[in-house]
Amino acid sequence: MPVVRSSEAVTHEIHGARFVSYATPRTGSKELCAWRGEIPAGTRAPAHTVNREEIFHLLTGELLITLDGRTERVTAGDTVIINSGSTLAVENPTDRTATSWVTTSVGLEAEFADGARFAPPWAN
């Protein structure tokens, strides 16, 4: 039975945010990935288009989520469903770090406005 202890989770940092990876093929998952996101106050992540559906659940804090050009204020307890092919941007306009729990399928890639592609190690 694969059990990933919190002390074994792998932390990645990009665009000012931290991604603490728990479920990936490297930890025994065959189809799904899951991670905790930590989005510090004042962070504005660049818009990117995803090739897999993501389920984004906000655990603490408050964020502005822009999905396909529509911006919503999301607060702790809210869940955002990000469909494959959607363009997503995340901003933390508050003075506190927000934390999220995100799940997706293995093979997630993001494409940025300049055409650059990124396969995040916490989702592959």
State pLDDT tens for residues 10-34: 999 998 999 999 999 999 999 999 9
> Domain residue spans in the chain?
9-123
Residue 10 CA to residue 19 CA, distance in Å, equals 8
* pLDDT of the residue at 55: 98
Contacts of 69 (CB under 8 A, 6+ apart): 87
- CATH fold, domain 9-123, is Jelly Rolls (2.60.120)
pLDDT in tens, 34-73: 999 999 999 999 999 999 999 999 999 999 999 999 999 9
- 47, with CB counted inside 10 A (0-12, 13-18, 19+), is middle
Residue 20 CA to residue 75 CA, distance in Å, equals 20
- pTM score of the predicted model: 0.93
The answer on pLDDT for 1 being more than 80 is: no
Residue 50 CA to residue 100 CA, distance in Å, equals 17
